[in-house]
């Protein structure tokens, strides 16, 4: 069962995350798609807007069920064995709520273009 990860292809930090996830995905359970492509996004997750993808990544199951942001990372962790410790700790009550808040802060303060490159993002 492959999950599709929709990410902001204009964000170097997001592309870096995709590279790291690909390296950890030895079982090839993830597919990645640039969520800023309207035709691609509509095919994978009908009704999801570009603005949605700018706010957080989306993980889409083959059934069409979607997991956004931190919850998406938890869903990814379920299919990548090396990430299972993160799943166990990250799913705990309190930790999950804190994780969501931290994810939103990071996502809201990332740089899409300009001073940010694939190798380095200035704050």
Quote the pLDDT of residue 107: 87
Please, what's the b/e burial string for 104-123 (b: 16 or more CB within 10 A of its CB; e: otherwise)? Answer: eeebeebeeeeebeeeeeee
CA atoms within 13 A on the CB side of 1: 11
State residue 18's pLDDT score.
95
Return phi, psi of residue 107, to 5°: -65, -40
Question: What's the pLDDT at 109?
Answer: 82
Question: What total number of domains does the chain contain?
Answer: 1
Q: Which residues of the chain have pLDDT under 50?
A: 114-117, 120-123
The residues with which 67 forms a beta bridge, in sequence order, are: 59
Domain that holds residue 34: 3-109
User: What is the model's pTM?
Assistant: 0.86
Distance CA 52, CA 30 (A): 20
29 sits in the region (left: phi over 0; alpha: psi -120 to 50; else beta) called alpha
Within-domain flag for 87:
yes
- Pair 21, 30: CB distance under 8 Å: yes
Could you tell me the maximum CA-CA distance found in the chain, to the nearest angstrom?
39
């Amino acid at each position: 069962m492959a999950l599709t990860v929709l990410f902001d292809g204009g964000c170097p930090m997001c592309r870096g995350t995709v590279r790291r996830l690909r390296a950890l995905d030895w079982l090839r359970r993830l597919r990645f798609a640039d969520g800023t492509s309207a035709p691609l996004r509509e095919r994978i997750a009908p009704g999801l807007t570009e603005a949605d993808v700018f706010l957080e990544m989306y993980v889409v199951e083959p059934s069409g069920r979607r997991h956004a942001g931190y919850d998406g990372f938890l869903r990814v962790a379920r299919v990548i064995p090396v990430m299972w410790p993160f799943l166990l700790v990250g799913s705990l009550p309190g930790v999950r709520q804190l994780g969501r808040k931290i994810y939103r802060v990071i996502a809201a303060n990332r740089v899409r273009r300009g001073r940010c490159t694939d190798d380095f993002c200035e704050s």
